[in-house]
């Protein structure tokens, strides 16, 4: 409220309207100017003196408070991912050729040994026929050499031929027998090549992709059909670099799907990548599901929960309660008796979701400010916005989206 002050009294001799008190009044127009100048100075001084205001009252800032309490040390970390097969094979023909037929589609359930695709067998059948003819010729030569050897052995026994001639007949038979075995191996190999013209499933599973179509000429080993084995399933997730070592040795792992969140499945960490993904900067992790249920489909969204039990109770505060001042972490502590706040330097521990563990600086039962910490100053009067709320129950770490790991 502005302070009213009286206009200072001016001596009669200094009355600007008294023309007799000013010598300049005798000089006509110049006297009038002097008279008005003095009047303006007196008015300005009066206005300046009356424009001062009273000192404002200290501001009472509204704040949100929370009372600290100890947690049991049980912390849950959650990471989202998707269900994937333990083994996914990219099947291809073992020989090259032109695809004549594709016998399955994406999503088809296949069994071990089931045909998936076929090549044009014309060239392979001709090659097999040639190998069979060579085998028959070698067999005939071997049989003839065997007959000759038997006859020459009889003559040698009667002394009609020399030992050298008998040895030549024995060598001829052995060479013919070796050529027969060679032709037999070539025929068996070519028969296998002909059989490779049909692509079979090597295990029970489901077709997840088709990489080649009918009419396409493929080379040996080129992927044609992808089959995911359904006997073993796991969840692919990504772990942030600051929690890899923390979660590596945790055995209490559970899995639940978005379709059935109330059903918890046991899990076991099978592998953690040695290097971070260059795009997501997370470590690809596979969590195996022992004896997966039949209705657990590939590609389902799943959440993996790691439960860690600490050795000692801990105090946690919201991230919004922290204030960094000259490189130190501070928390505003509320004094209920005085209605003021003061900064307290704290030592932080692990971050758990939207909260962080405080290892030193605070004690259970204290009340801290959780909102508006950047607008406070030491000893400032504050007004709670609500009744003091106790510390919340332990919460799970925020769900982290997993990159699609190949």
Does 225 fall in a domain?
A: no
Question: Are both 82 and 112 inside the same structural domain?
Answer: no
Specify the number of domains making up the chain: 4
What does the pLDDT average to over 28-33?
51
One domain for residues 47 and 17: yes
Query: Which range (191-195, 235-239, 353-357) has the least confidence?
Result: 353-357
Same domain for 101 and 178, yes or no, is yes
Instruction: Report the CATH number at residue 240.
Output: 2.40.30.170
Q: Is the pLDDT of residue 368 over 50?
A: yes
Instruction: Find the mean pLDDT for residues 248-255.
Output: 88
Least confident of 9-13, 16-20, 118-122, 343-347: 9-13
End-of-domain residue from the set 156, 182, 200:
200
Residue 137, in any domain of the structure: yes
Q: Which residue has the higher pLDDT, 360 or 127?
A: 127
Give the mean model confidence (pLDDT) for residues 380-386: 85
What percentage of the chain has pLDDT greater than the value 70? 78
Q: Over the chain, what is the mean pLDDT?
A: 82
Query: In terms of domains, do 339 and 238 share one?
Result: no
Question: Is residue 109's pLDDT more than 80?
Answer: yes
Residues 160 and 104 in one domain: yes
- CATH code at 343? 2.40.420.20
pTM: 0.57
Residues 157 and 109 in one domain: yes
Asked whether residue 303 falls in the same domain as residue 316, the answer is: no
Per-residue pLDDT tens for 36-49?
555 555 555 455 55
Together in a domain, 99 and 49: no
- Residue 219 domain-assigned (yes or no): no
**Residue 81 placed within a domain:** yes
110/149 same-domain check? yes
Q: Are 15 and 113 within one domain?
A: no
User: Is residue 113 in a domain?
Assistant: yes
Q: What is the pLDDT of residues 308-331, one digit of tens each?
A: 776 556 788 888 889 888 888 999
Ranked by mean pLDDT, the top range of 21-25, 137-141, 261-265, 354-358 is 137-141
Most confident option among 50-64, 198-212, 350-364: 198-212
Last residue of a domain, one of 288, 309, 330: 309
Confidence of residue 137 (pLDDT cuts 50, 70, 90): very high
For residue 120, the domain's CATH number is 1.10.287.470
Lowest mean pLDDT among 167-176, 286-295, 388-397: 388-397
Q: Which of 267, 287, 309 is the last residue of a domain?
A: 309
> Given this model, what pLDDT does residue 374 score?
85
Does residue 104 sit within a domain? yes
Q: Do residue 288 and residue 331 come from a single domain?
A: no
Q: Are residues 139 and 168 in the same domain?
A: yes
Long-range contacts from 98-102, C-beta under 8 angstroms, 24+ separation = 98/215, 98/216, 98/217, 98/218, 99/212, 99/213, 99/214, 99/215, 99/216, 99/217, 99/218, 99/224, 100/214, 101/214, 102/210, 102/213, 102/214, 102/225
Asked if residue 221 is part of any domain, the answer here is no
* Domain extent for 353: 62-73+312-390
325 versus 114: which is more confidently predicted?
114
pLDDT of residue 360: 84
Q: What is the pLDDT of residues 253-263, one digit of tens each?
A: 999 999 888 99
Taking the C-alpha atoms of residue 48 and residue 51, their distance in angstroms, rounded to an integer, is 5
- Does residue 181 lie in a domain region? yes
Dist. CA 85–CA 305, nearest whole Å:
20
């Amino acid at each position: 409220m502005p302070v009213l002050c009286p206009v200072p009294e001016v001596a009669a001799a200094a009355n600007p309207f008294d023309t007799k008190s000013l010598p300049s009044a005798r000089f006509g127009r110049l006297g009038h100017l002097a008279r008005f100048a003095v009047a303006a100075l007196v008015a300005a001084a009066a206005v300046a003196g009356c424009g001062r205001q009273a000192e404002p009252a200290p501001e009472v800032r509204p704040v949100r408070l929370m009372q600290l309490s100890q947690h049991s040390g049980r912390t849950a970390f959650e990471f989202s991912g998707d269900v994937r097969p333990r083994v996914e094979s990219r099947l291809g023909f073992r020989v090259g050729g032109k695809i004549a037929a594709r016998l399955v589609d994406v999503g088809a359930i296949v069994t071990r040994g089931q045909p998936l695709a076929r090549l044009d067998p014309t060239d392979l059948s001709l090659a097999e026929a040639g190998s069979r003819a060579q085998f028959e010729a070698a067999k005939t030569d071997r049989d003839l050499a065997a007959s000759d050897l038997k006859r020459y052995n009889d003559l040698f026994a009667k002394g009609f031929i020399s030992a050298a001639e008998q040895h030549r007949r024995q060598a001829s038979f052995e060479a013919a027998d070796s050529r027969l075995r060679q032709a037999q191996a070539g025929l068996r190999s070519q028969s296998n090549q002909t059989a490779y013209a049909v692509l079979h499933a090597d295990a029970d599973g489901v077709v997840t992709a088709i990489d080649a179509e009918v009419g396409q000429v493929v080379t040996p080993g080129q992927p044609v059909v992808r089959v995911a084995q359904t006997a073993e399933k796991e969840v692919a997730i990504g772990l942030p670099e600051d929690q890899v070592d923390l979660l590596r040795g945790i055995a209490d792992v559970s899995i639940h799907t978005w379709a059935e969140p109330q059903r918890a499945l046991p899990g076991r960490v099978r592998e953690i990548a040695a290097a971070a993904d260059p795009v997501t900067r997370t470590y690809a992790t596979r969590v195996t599901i022992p004896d997966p249920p039949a209705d657990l489909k590939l590609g389902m969204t799943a959440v993996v929960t790691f439960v860690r039990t600490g050795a000692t109770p801990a105090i946690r505060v919201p991230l919004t309660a922290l204030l960094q001042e000259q490189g130190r972490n501070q928390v505003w502590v509320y004094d209920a008796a005085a209605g003021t706040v003061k900064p307290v330097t704290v030592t932080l521990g692990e971050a758990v979701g939207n909260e962080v563990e405080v290892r030193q600086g605070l004690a259970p039962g204290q009340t801290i400010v959780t909102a508006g910490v950047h607008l406070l100053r030491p000893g400032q009067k504050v007004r709670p916005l609500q009744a003091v709320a106790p510390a919340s129950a332990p919460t799970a770490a925020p769900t982290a989206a997993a990159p699609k790991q190949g």
